[in-house]
Structure 1
Amino acid sequence: MKVLYLTGYKPFELGIFKNDHPGVKYIQSAIKQRIALFAEEGLEWVIINGQLGAELWGAEMVLELKEEYSQLQLAVLTPYLNQEESWKEHNREYYESVLAQADFVDSISKKPYEGPAQLRTKSMFMLQKSDGMLIVYDEEKDGSPKYVYKDAKRLSESGEYHVFQITFDDLQQVIEDQSHDDWN
């Protein structure tokens, strides 16, 4: 796998409203572990849309991993121009700091938001441009990732596309592992 699409829940879907929430470090740890494994196997690009939540938290982990895996690169392909326009200032600053460190930044639609069709186009584009997906998503907890997850699962039935999930059970395991490490 050369190109991995990273996506997942938005922060509010997890009840997280600040990046210093304790849950963020566990989500980041789970993402980092998985991406490191893929990087060991030759992963070259992680692509995201730059959404708040799993995507930007994961992007931070990709940026950290670049120090160890020189072939690893981060691309931010926003669904449309100025997606951060209505975000709070601290979220915009966080987003812009990640974009400033990315290896490639572009917008799929060269227009500002016009409607949900741009989001559908974004999902199809990301699936077509990647070999697999790492998604922070659990079928037990509804949320915005369910649509792209369903499309990716359908695509994976051909055997040509791979879907890797980070579920709540996976996150619980990370919490237990880190608590055990902290205890020792």
Structure 2
Amino acid sequence: MNRTSLICIVASITVLSTWALVRSAPEMNTGRASDITLSLARIDRIGLLVADMPETLTDTGITNDQIIENWTGRLAKIGIEVVAPDRKVPVLELRILSGTPPQLSDDVVLTTVTLTLRQPATIERVERTLIVPTYVHPVSQISKRDVLAASTARTLDNQMGRFLSNVRVANLVIPPKSRRAP
């Protein structure tokens, strides 16, 4: 494995992560929730899509069905029902890219896990409701192949945890509407 290539990849991931943190820092320091977080308020139904898993991960035993089952349970615990995706409900999409860059040895895997929420939003200047991404959170990791399943499972858990935490904050700022008695 080329040490310089590995250092360049780690440096790139560090720069991207730092940029994301710095980008969100002004919103975090204002004492109020960001618009990105507030866009998650009052979600009570959600579509869940998991893109096809890369072969590097299916070889480790991680499956779309496992992720969907786990995440459906976690969403249900905070009162969000998972429904069939359509244009009327927010859709949470998980996309994972994974592979070994040619300049690295075969026992090193670079993985990017991106969680995106797309939902209907009214854009006043065009006077239309459009489906737009309101929450996008990518995370990259470099793992040895022998610990890829564990490190990816941890990243998936952290991704959903961060999303649920943001939903909770949004619902504290903009509480869910009370449901009417039947």
The interval holding the TM-score normalised by the smaller chain is under 0.3
- Per the normalisation by structure 1, the TM-score is 0.24
> Between Structure 1 and Structure 2, whose CA radius of gyration is higher?
2
- Per the normalisation by structure 2, the TM-score is 0.24
> Which of the two has greater strand per residue?
2
